[in-house]
Amino acid sequence: MTGIFRAACVQMRTGLDVAANIAAAATLIREAKKAGAALVATPEMTSLFEAESDALFAKVKTEDDDVALKAFRALAAEESIWLLIGSLPIRVGERQCANRSFLLDPKGHIAAWYDKVHMFDVDLPGGETYRESRSYRRGDRAVVADLPWGKLGLSVCYDLRFPHLYRSLAKAGASFLSIPAAFTHTTGQAHWHVLQRARAIETGCFVIAPAQGGKHENGRHTFGHSLIVDPWGKILAEAGDEPGIIAADIDPAKVAEARTRVPALTHDRPFTLA
């Protein structure tokens, strides 16, 4: 791992019009590049935030035909940046999507992809109910991808609550973790900051967590507060509720420094449950 680089998070308020969402994301991605970012990350559901099943399947395409993926591949090449598209809804069956994250290299090639493993099927206080598994197929593989500065472990939103995933990514060599999200306002207020910082601390990784924020066309209210967190748990950059960008300089040497201070990744021990 060599060299300090700048990472940026794009915070969005994705709506129901794919073309409008692509344009909004592209504007912020270009802004992040102008701010010096070599790695730019967008949130979960960058291209479409559609909760109604019939409307979703009327709009989603296969990976080969997805207009957003084509646009973002061209943009990564145009701006010569590493671009992490937090996720796009990708059709994988007649009535089934994948919640798929894409890492694009500076030539616009797909360097890695990851399907969200953990489905957000919950009933929250106040009547909020979510059943992601009704429309989305869960992934079954963890992914670590190569960046010029080290390895990136990919995840999406609800994955954040499953620390064994991140421990596995770190043990597989990840120095950076991407956690793009569309956290609900209810759960975000209670858990967003502490979970993001915990994932950074327990793995000794940088966390890059671009988020959706505000009141959306589909009726959802997301928390926002995109974060970049260092391996010691310090918040390097944080957004508010509005669309925009945040950026921070990332020193990969801080990963080894944190893991030397507290080498927890080497201290796993077998045990039995009495």
Complete domains list, the chain, with CATH: 5-262 (3.60.110.10)
pLDDT above 50 for 267: yes
61 is catalytic: no
Run of H or E residues at 163: helix 163-171
The whole-number average pLDDT for the span 249-257 is 98
Catalytic: which of 33, 61, 97, 116? 116
Catalytic: which of 44, 50, 79, 132? 44
Residues 6+ apart with CB under 8 A from 168: 142
State pLDDT tens for residues 42-101. Answer: 999 999 999 889 999 999 999 999 999 999 999 999 999 999 999 999 999 989 999 999
- Region of 72 please: left (phi>0), alpha (psi -120 to 50) or beta: alpha
The whole-chain average pLDDT of the chain stands at 96
At residue 240 the predicted structure's pLDDT band, cuts being 50, 70 and 90, is very high
Report the pLDDT value the prediction gives residue 1, as an integer from 0 to 100.
45
pLDDT above 80 for 34: yes
Percent of the chain exceeding pLDDT 70 equals 99
β-bridge partners, 198: none
Catalytic: which of 9, 97, 157, 205? 157
3-state DSSP assignment of residue 148? coil
At residue 16 the predicted structure's pLDDT band, cuts being 50, 70 and 90, is very high
Report the pLDDT value the prediction gives residue 35, as an integer from 0 to 100.
98
State pLDDT tens for residues 110-127. Answer: 999 999 999 988 888 777
At residue 2 the predicted structure's pLDDT band, cuts being 50, 70 and 90, is low
Strand residue runs (E) in the chain: 5-11, 39-41, 82-93, 96-104, 110-115, 121-123, 129-131, 144-147, 150-154, 174-178, 206-209, 213-215, 221-223, 227-229, 235-238, 244-250
pLDDT above 70 for 36: yes
